[in-house]
Structure formats: structure tokens, C-alpha cells
């Protein structure tokens, strides 16, 4: 009895410090161990890197300490003293990165890749953000961390067609994605409401197609110039984020069709001029020119062609004699076959540019080549679509509306925002999402590239609203895609997350506070 109560007592004593047994990092690293004595970073600490290839990472670390902590850390390429931060590129590290903090040997981040070094830097910055600054020192707890992501696709999609947010907001989102080690920014740049990417060969796309948004069809044209896109791509690359543009086709094309009606395939009463024309050769030449310009701007060699919801507005195809002729000559049985034919031809244009085609799950049966396509499963209410993708051996990104659409609200009593059939996406539901909730046979697991959250913006009329829907769910998404399911724990995540809210506040982010929900 005595030993028993002693045992209970020791558990009780240990409990309050439980959180400290995990590093204050989101997403939680895969393995970690803590020493006793911290290492102090001061204004005179130096950064030293082992290989010229790491110069950009060293500058990034320097820039962050300067802007966030007002510490002007120096940079050295030669061997530094013991009190340094070392960045070491080393083939022998098999994890994504290792971060070692030692009271006398200083801080070492090692990895076989620059991306791994960057992730190690992010972990260090997060530890520094949670360490008290006293007497000019930031005491970093002496963690030994080995870390690697569970999935290689950790994505976030922003729709800037329905509402346009602009370069500064996109850069801020990229900052936060980097802070959570998210690595794919899917940029939905075209849709019915507005065309947001300048195309030199077809200037009216931006100048006329860029007019309007979901709040005001006459809002002055807003779009990204090619110079701005290059700047954003560079900014993302510095943060190890790939940008994937989406040029949605053959549906969701109304804005483009306002600019160049000669390529319109018509629409329906509810969705007028919704499609590109699938039976005119000129359409394919036109769209291929657009893709060639997009390819030159985005270095990742991946373009998302949409392919979603074509049936919303392809009614005119039924009566168009050119479409009928195409169906006869190509042996296409129905309009879905026309859609697939269209996408396959556009995929060929992408392959000629050495690109991979990305598209929504509507394309699961289109017969796209498995080695050059990635499809996005978004229709949570159609699990058979996911099964089709897997049966057809298609590489898949998991982004079901429930729970990964961030245009759906976080709490039941929100007055604005989406909630369909009583469904919405609270933080915990997002956090606890994992592959184990889906039917994915072990033999097909390698087809799953990872996870992505999508922020559609029909209802997102301004920045504060964007923030409110994105934060803090972005942090939960990070742990869905990075941390092994067996190590996830919502209670522990909540403890770490609480300490990120002041960071959002400092950054001027209008976040949803899950710990004080009634206030909203
Ligand atoms: C479906 S997801 C769409 C979007 C909407 C979204 C709203 C997808 C491929 N298409 O056009 O914005 O639902 O949640």
C-alpha cells in the first residue's frame, strides 16, 4: 500500500512537467532527448557553416535572429569557437536533420540536404521563441533531436481567384508555412471570379479576366505580374517551399472567357461561360501558350490543371455541333469522356514542357500516365474516388473537404463561413486526422504523397477572415503531415500550441483562439 501511494505520488509530481519532456516544437520531432544544462545564445554568438552550399541557410538564420531578437549574429566560414551554431552538410545523416544542443560544444545542425539544414534551423528558431531572454541571453534547452517527416507532401492551397490578397499576405503565409515545415504552396490563380496571373501572349486575361471577385464583379482588376510571381517564387524557395500554380480547366473558366470569348465552350444557366471549348483546335493552342508561360515562371515542373466540377457548366457541350463531331471522330461516349479527352491533350502539352500534371480526383479514371501525374482526393463523401486512385496506382495527395477544407468553420456557433450538412472542421478534428481513418491497403501506402489543406475564398472577403480560418489549424495540419500518428496527442499538441498564440498576436494575425472560443 505504501509503495503504491508513493508510486501515485511520483506520477502526480511528474505530471505537471510532462510537457517539458517534449521539445516545444510544432510539428513534434520524431525523436528527442533532453540534457540538463542549456546553451545560451547571445548577441556575439557566431554562425559557422561547413559548405558554401549552406550560405543561404546561414543568412536566413542570421536574418531571423536579427529581425526577431535584435541579435546581430556574425557568420564565419572557417572553424568557429566552441560557442557557435554549426551548420554541417554531411552525407552520413540519414534523418532529415539532426539538431544537437550542448552546453559547452554549442549547437550543431547536420543534414545531408540543404532542406534538412533549413528544417533544423526552424526547430532551433522555435526553441528560441519559447526560451526566456534574460540578461542578453536566450537559454536554449539542450535537446538532442533527430527528425524526419512522415510525408513528403505537406501542402496548403490558397484560392486567390474568389478574393485577391496580394504579395505581402502571400509572403506572410509562406513565412508561417515555413515555420511549420510545410513545403508545398498550391496557388489557385484562376477560376470563374477572376484570373490572377499575367500572361504576355494574352494580356486581356489579367486586364479583363482580373476584374471582379466574389464580392464585387466590378472590382478593379487585380492580378500578379510575372515579376511579382518571380519574387514570390524566390521568397518561397528561400523557405524550401515549392509553389504549384493551378490553371483550372476545362471548367471554372468564366473569367478567362470574359477576356477571350472565342475559346469559350459555354456554360449553364447558373454557371454561364463556365468551360473552355473542348472541340476547337485553337483552344488547345491558346491554353498551351498559357502553360508555356506558367512553366517558365514556376521551377517545380508541376502545374495543376484542375479538372474539377466540369459538369456544373458543360450543358452547352450537349448541343454544340463541334462537340458532337469530336465525340463521333474520337469515339467518345459521353461528356465525361470529352472532359477526359480534353485533360489528356492538355497533359500532353505539359509533358512536352517536361512537367507533371496535377489535377483533382475527377481525373481518377482519365487514363493519365501514373509516372507523370498526381491527383488530389478532395471529395470526402466519395471514398470510392480514393479507391479508384489507388486501384489505378495514381500518386495521391489527401485533402478531403472534411476535415481539410479551411473555408469550413472551426466552431459550431460561427455565424459566417461554411458548414454543410452540419459538418465543419474543428481544430481537434483536423489534428486527429490520419491515414488510419481511410481505407488504404498497406500495398498502396506508398502512393500517398501526403496531406494538404485547402482554403477556398468565396466567403473569405478580407485578410482577418483568412487569418481566422487558417490559424491555428495550419499548425495542426503540420503535425498531420509530419509527425507519426503513434506520437500524436491532442492534449500535448494543445499545450505546445498555446504558446504559439502570442506569436500570432505579435505578427498581427487575427487568429481563432481555441482556448477561449466563446469570445468569438
Ligand atoms: C469545391 S474543391 C471546389 C471549389 C470550391 C470549394 C468550396 C474543388 C476542386 N472545387 O471550386 O471553392 O468546393 O469548398
Tell me the C-alpha to C-alpha distance, in Å, between residue 376 and each of 75, 346, 373, 390, 395: 42, 17, 10, 12, 9
Question: Residue 476 falls within a domain, yes or no?
Answer: yes
* Protein residue with its CA nearest to atom 9 in ligand 1: 308
Which candidate in 114, 293, 309, 463 is catalytic? 309
User: Is residue 275, in this structure, part of any structural domain at all?
Assistant: yes
Asked whether residue 171 falls in the same domain as residue 120, the answer is: no
In a domain, 3, yes or no: no
Quick one: pLDDT at residue 83? 66
Ligand 1 atom closest to the CA of 309, numbered from 1: 10
- Given 107, 130, 147, the domain boundary residue is 147
Q: Could you tell me how far CA 181 lies from the centroid of its own chain? A: 9
Q: Are residues 179 and 128 in the same domain?
A: no
Residues of the chain with pLDDT under 70: 1-20, 79-83, 517-520
Distance 374 CA to ligand 1 centre (A): 18
Three-state SS at 244: strand
Instruction: Mark which of 105, 125, 147 sits at the end of a domain.
Output: 147
pLDDT of residue 474: 99
Same domain, 138 and 178: no
How far, in Å, is the centroid of ligand 1 from the Cα of 159?
Answer: 9
Q: For residues 418 and 121, is the Cβ–Cβ distance under 8 A?
A: no
> 315 C-alpha vs ligand 1 centroid, how far in Å?
19
- Ligand 1 pocket test, pick from 308, 421, 460 with the greatest ligand atom count within 8 Å of Cβ, gives 308
Of all protein residues, whose CA lies closest to atom 6 belonging to ligand 1? 456
Ligand 1, atom 2: closest residue by C-alpha: 378
ipTM over 0.90? The verdict is yes
List, in sequence order, every beta strand (DSSP E) within 50-193: 74-76, 84-89, 97-102, 106-111, 133-134, 137-140, 143-147, 153-159, 184-188
**Is residue 141 domain-shared with residue 172, that is, in the same domain?**
no
What number does the ligand 1 atom closest to the CA of 454 have? Answer: 2
pLDDT at site 518: 60
46 and 165 housed in the same domain: no
Contact 50, 86 (CB under 8 A): yes
- We report the CATH number of the domain holding residue 259 as 3.20.20.80
Distance CA 357, CA 346 (A): 9
Same domain, 159 and 300: yes
Q: 254, 309, 310: which to mutate for ligand 1, most atoms within 8 A of CB?
A: 309
Residues 90 and 177 in one domain: no
- Whether residue 7 lies inside any domain: the answer is no
- Is 15 inside any structural domain? no
**Judgement on whether residues 286 and 165 belong to the same structural domain of the protein:** yes
Listed in sequence order, the residues at least 6 apart from 344 whose beta carbon sits closer than 8 Å to its beta carbon are 366, 367, 368
- Note whether residue 251 is domain-resident: yes
CA–centroid distance, residue 520 to ligand 1 (Å): 26
Domain identity same for 157 and 129:
no
pLDDT of the residue at 415: 80
Q: Separation of 90 CA from ligand 1 center, angstroms?
A: 43
- Is residue 294 located within the same domain as residue 369? yes
CA-closest residue to ligand 1 atom 5: 456
Instruction: Say if 9 falls within a structural domain.
Output: no
Q: Quick one: 367 and 471 in the same domain? A: yes
CA of residue 456 to ligand 1 center, whole Å: 7
Q: What is the extent of the structural domain holding 41?
A: 22-147
* 291 within 8 A of 354, measured Cβ to Cβ: no
pLDDT of residue 20: 62
| Residue 159 CA, closest ligand 1 atom number | 12
User: What residue's CA is closest to ligand 1, atom 13?
Assistant: 456
**Three-state DSSP class for residue 314:** coil
CATH number at residue 121: 3.30.379.10
Looking at the structure of the chain, the number of domains it has is: 2
Answer yes or no: 432 catalytic: no
Q: Are residues 58 and 170 in the same domain?
A: no
474-486 as b/e, with b when 16 or more CB fall inside 10 Å? Answer: bbbbbbbbbbeee
End residue of a domain, out of 93, 118, 147: 147
- Ligand 1 environment, Cβ below 6 A: 308-309, 360, 378, 405, 407, 456, 458
- What is the 3 state secondary structure string of 34-61? ECCCCEEECCCCEEEECCHHHHHHHHHH
pLDDT for residue 519: 52
> Is 127 a domain residue?
yes
Amino acid at each position: 500500500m505504501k509503495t503504491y501511494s508513493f508510486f501515485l505520488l511520483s506520477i502526480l509530481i511528474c505530471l505537471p512537467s510532462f510537457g517539458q519532456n517534449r521539445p516545444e516544437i510544432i510539428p513534434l520531432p520524431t525523436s528527442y532527448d533532453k540534457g540538463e544544462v542549456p546553451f545560451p545564445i547571445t548577441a556575439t554568438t557566431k554562425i559557422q557553416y561547413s559548405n558554401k552550399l549552406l550560405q543561404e541557410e546561414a543568412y536566413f538564420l542570421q536574418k531571423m535572429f536579427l529581425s526577431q531578437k535584435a541579435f546581430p549574429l556574425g557568420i564565419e566560414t572557417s572553424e568557429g569557437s566552441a560557442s557557435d551554431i554549426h551548420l554541417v552538410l554531411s552525407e552520413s545523416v540519414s534523418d532529415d536533420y539532426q539538431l544537437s544542443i550542448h552546453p559547452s560544444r554549442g549547437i550543431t545542425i547536420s543534414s545531408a540536404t540543404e532542406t534538412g539544414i533549413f528544417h533544423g534551423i526552424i526547430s532551433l528558431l522555435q526553441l528560441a521563441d519559447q526560451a526566456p531572454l534574460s540578461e542578453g541571453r536566450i537559454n536554449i534547452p539542450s535537446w538532442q533531436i533527430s527528425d524526419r517527416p512522415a510525408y513528403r507532401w505537406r501542402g496548403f492551397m490558397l484560392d486567390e481567384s474568389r478574393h485577391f490578397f496580394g504579395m505581402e499576405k502571400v509572403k506572410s503565409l509562406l513565412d508561417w508555412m515555413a515555420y511549420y515545415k510545410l513545403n508545398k504552396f498550391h496557388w489557385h490563380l484562376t477560376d470563374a471570379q477572376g484570373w490572377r496571373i499575367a500572361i504576355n501572349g494574352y494580356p486581356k486575361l489579367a486586364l479583363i479576366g482580373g476584374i471582379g471577385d466574389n464580392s464585387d464583379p466590378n472590382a478593379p482588376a487585380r492580378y500578379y505580374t510575372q515579376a511579382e510571381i518571380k519574387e514570390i517564387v524566390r521568397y518561397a524557395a528561400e523557405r524550401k517551399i515549392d509553389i504549384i500554380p493551378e490553371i483550372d480547366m476545362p471548367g471554372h473558366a468564366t473569367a478567362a472567357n470574359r477576356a477571350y470569348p472565342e475559346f469559350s465552350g459555354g456554360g449553364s444557366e447558373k454557371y454561364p461561360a463556365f468551360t473552355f471549348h473542348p472541340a476547337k483546335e485553337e483552344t488547345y493552342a491558346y491554353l498551351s501558350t498559357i502553360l508555356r508561360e506558367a512553366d517558365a515562371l514556376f521551377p517545380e515542373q508541376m502545374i495543376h490543371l484542375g479538372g474539377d466540377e466540369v459538369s456544373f457548366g458543360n450543358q452547352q457541350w450537349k448541343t454544340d455541333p463541334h462537340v458532337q463531331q469530336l465525340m463521333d471522330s474520337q469515339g467518345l461516349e459521353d461528356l465525361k469522356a470529352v472532359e477526359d479527352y480534353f485533360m489528356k491533350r492538355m497533359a500532353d502539352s505539359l509533358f512536352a514542357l517536361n512537367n507533371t500534371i496535377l489535377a483533382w480526383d475527377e481525373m481518377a479514371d482519365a487514363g493519365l500516365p501514373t509516372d507523370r501525374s498526381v491527383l488530389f482526393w478532395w471529395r470526402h463523401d466519395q471514398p470510392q474516388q480514393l479507391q479508384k486512385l489507388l486501384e489505378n496506382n495514381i500518386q495521391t495527395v489527401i485533402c478531403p473537404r472534411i476535415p481539410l477544407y479551411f473555408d469550413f468553420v472551426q466552431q459550431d456557433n460561427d455565424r459566417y463561413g461554411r458548414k454543410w450538412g452540419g459538418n465543419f472542421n474543428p481544430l481537434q478534428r483536423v489534428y486527429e486526422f490520419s491515414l488510419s481513418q481511410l481505407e488504404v491497403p498497406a500495398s498502396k501506402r506508398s502512393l500517398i504523397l501526403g496531406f494538404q489543406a485547402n482554403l477556398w475564398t468565396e466567403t473569405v472577403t478580407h485578410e482577418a477572415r483568412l487569418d481566422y480560418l487558417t490559424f491555428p489549424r495550419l499548425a495542426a495540419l503540420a503535425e498531420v503531415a509530419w509527425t507519426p500518428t503513434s506520437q500524436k496527442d491532442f492534449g500535448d499538441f494543445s499545450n505546445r500550441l498555446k504558446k504559439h498564440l502570442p506569436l500570432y498576436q505579435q505578427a498581427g494575425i487575427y487568429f481563432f483562439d481555441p482556448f477561449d472560443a466563446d469570445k468569438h
